[in-house]
Amino acid sequence: MLLVLPPLVLLLLMVIPPAALALRAAAAPIAALELLNRPLLMAVALSLTTTAISTVIILVLGTPLAFILARYRFPLHDFINLIVELPIVLPPVVAGLGLLMAFGRSSPIGALLQQVGLGLPFTTVAVVMAQVFVAAPFYVRTAQVRFAAIPNELDEAAAISGGGQWDFFWYVAIPVSRSAMLAGLVLSWARALGEFGATLMFAGNLPGRTQTMPLLVYGAFERDVNLALWTGLVLVAIALCALAVGRLLAKGSSLPTAPLP
């Protein structure tokens, strides 16, 4: 009983809020046509589009970073690890403020971009940047742990077969780590889907342009609680479906190591 009670309390803390949201939304008087209004559809489309782009960027840029951090030791290795994981514990509002200070119009980078007609703040690109910043560590960390667990014998076998580090990375490390990589991508995607603070600070809350689903919930709560409840419930449903599909794919994605060419 002493062993069961603490996890039961934690489990209840995790279950009760979404359950209360679902029950309250079910009792909220709202018409189907009002639920499927244009701002909600635009927010859903924008959220799915930007998080898909963010996930691809995280995969392409984060995979080699995770591999390097896992398989090599070099000066500032631990410091770079710390910087990569910082967004996990950094308040999202602070992350958004940092992005705004780094790429805003008054910053050196922002001023340079303005000269060529590019402005990042309060654009859809800013939404993607905020999502990548806060979500990338979840993928990089997961992939890094898996890459570090690959036996050194496989690296040595690849070298004996005449393969270089690129061959080991592409033909050995990635195939045997696909399950972990996919699990990390799902976590990153879910984190990007729920991103609020950094997006609000750096991209604003512009309907059809930067207003993702979390921002729509925030805006709708001030005008119509019932609409906010249903919008939040849609967001929970999308996140649950994505996590369920990601887990199923992760379980079935373990592939045997591909032979070196």
Domain residue ranges of the chain, discontinuous segments joined by +: 37-251
User: Which amino acid belongs to residue 124?
Assistant: T
206: which residues sit within 8 A by CB, 6+ positions away? Answer: 122
Amino acid 224: pLDDT: 75
Amino acid 34: pLDDT: 59
- pLDDT tens-digit series, residues 74-121: 899 999 999 999 999 999 999 999 999 999 988 999 889 888 888 899
Pairwise CA distance, residues 133 & 98, whole Å: 10
What average pLDDT does this structure show over 27-50? 75
Q: How far is CA 24 from CA 19, 21, 30, 224, 233, in A?
A: 9, 5, 12, 14, 10
Pairwise CA distance, residues 85 & 145, whole Å: 13
Pairwise CA distance, residues 215 & 194, whole Å: 9
**Residue percentage of the chain with pLDDT more than 70:** 90
Domain 37-251: give its CATH architecture: Orthogonal Bundle (1.10)
Pairwise CA distance, residues 133 & 137, whole Å: 8
**What's the mean per-residue pLDDT of the chain?**
85
Say whether pLDDT at 130 is over 70. Answer: yes
Tokens standing for residue 112: 């340079």
What pTM value is reported for the model?
A: 0.85
According to DSSP, residue 259 is labeled P
Say whether pLDDT at 139 is over 50. Answer: yes
Pairwise CA distance, residues 84 & 102, whole Å: 17
What's the chain's length in residues?
261
CA nearest to 169, candidates 57, 56, 55, 72: 72
